[in-house]
Amino acid sequence: MVRYYSDQSGRNSEPKLIFSHWENDALYTISPDFSHFGAVVDASGSAVLYTNSSKIDDAGLYTCLVEVKKTTFRYSAHVVILR
């Protein structure tokens, strides 16, 4: 189950929460700062984060926290926006 996505932009910035999903149902929240993002969550808690229009400020390090059978995994990707 995906628990959250966060974004860390800039050299010294703190991670900003984009998406959180802590309950075992389909309810999730997206931060108002990232209102141009959406998410699709299936019955098992898998979540896909998407956007149809990127901003230059969307560039940065994205981290996803996943919980599988009470074991936590953290995955990251560096997103580069070209204009």
Q: How crowded is the C-beta side of 14, counted as CA atoms within 13 Å?
A: 2
Q: What is the pTM of this model?
A: 0.81
Quote the pLDDT of residue 28.
87
CA dist 49 and 63 (Å) reads 11
Structural domain tally of the chain? 1
Quote the pLDDT of residue 12.
64
**For tokens 């996943």, what's the residue?**
66
**For tokens 């230059």, what's the residue?**
56
* pLDDT per residue of the chain (83 residues) written in tens, 0 to 9: 889 899 988 666 888 999 998 876 668 899 998 999 999 988 888 889 999 988 888 899 999 999 988 899 999 999 999 88
Q: What is the CATH number of the domain that holds 17?
A: 2.60.40.10
Quote the pLDDT of residue 73.
95
Token pair recorded at residue 17: 């929460």
- Residue-range definition of the domain harbouring residue 46: 2-79
CA dist 39 and 41 (Å) reads 6
Quote the pLDDT of residue 22.
80
